[in-house]
Amino acid sequence: MKANEIIIALGDRRYRIRGLEKNLAYDVMKVNLLVSRPAFDGAGESIHVDTFDLYQQRPRGAFIKQAAVELGVKDDVVKADLGKLLLKCEALQAANIEAVQAPKETAVTLDDEETKAALDLLKSPDLLARIQNDFTRCGVVGEATNKLVGYLAAISR
């Protein structure tokens, strides 16, 4: 099993799901789904693969019909399997979305020289003028009040 795929066995059917990590919205469940089953005669295996959105009824129905034909099982078997797969995918998708949205904490440490320079800047009597000059060097001309508001907005949480 690879990091970007999920393998689930249901009965004698084996499902491989790829692409779930790309679904970072709760209204999309587009995956590449491969289902395989040992062949009737014992030689090799029957396989069906397709890429579709599990939330879309028509493509899901087409997958069910074609997979049932390829595997030699009833439609209801594949349909029940897809229901179980969908629930598992939803749980994994929710975990993926939460992990992506979790705030990334980075600790910033300053050495003594950097701390002194930061405190000197903070205590500087001409701090506001220095901020306005920095904005002017960046290309913002005039607009003194807007420069300070922009600075406050940028450093505020």
Q: Do 89 and 37 belong together in one domain? A: yes
Helices 57-71, 75-101: axis angle to 10 degrees equals 130
- H or E stretch including 15? strand 13-18
Q: Do 44 and 91 belong together in one domain? A: yes
Count of structural domains, the chain: 2
DSSP string, 35-55: EEEE-TTSSSEEEEEEEEETT
pLDDT at 106 over 70: yes
Q: Do 121 and 69 belong together in one domain? A: no
**135 found inside a domain:** yes
**106 found inside a domain:** no
Q: Do 28 and 88 belong together in one domain? A: yes
Instruction: Look up the domain containing 16 and give its range.
Output: 5-101
- H or E stretch including 14? strand 13-18
3 vs 80, residue with greater confidence: 80
**62 found inside a domain:** yes
pLDDT score of 42: 67
Q: Do 41 and 73 belong together in one domain? A: yes
pLDDT score of 113: 93
Contact criterion met (CB below 8 Å) for 85 and 17: yes
**26 found inside a domain:** yes
pLDDT score of 1: 56
Q: Do 58 and 132 belong together in one domain? A: no
Instruction: From 44, 113, 55, select the one nearest 83 (Cα to Cα).
Output: 55
Alpha carbons within 13 angstroms on the beta-carbon side of residue 79 total 8
Q: Do 120 and 90 belong together in one domain? A: no
Note the residue count of the chain: 157
What mean pLDDT value characterizes the chain? Answer: 90
Instruction: From 61, 56, 11, select the one nearest 38 (Cα to Cα).
Output: 11
Q: Do 84 and 143 belong together in one domain? A: no
Express each pLDDT in 133-144 by its tens digit.
888 888 888 888
Q: Do 47 and 95 belong together in one domain? A: yes
Q: Do 31 and 65 belong together in one domain? A: yes
Q: What SS3 class is residue 69?
A: helix
**107 found inside a domain:** no
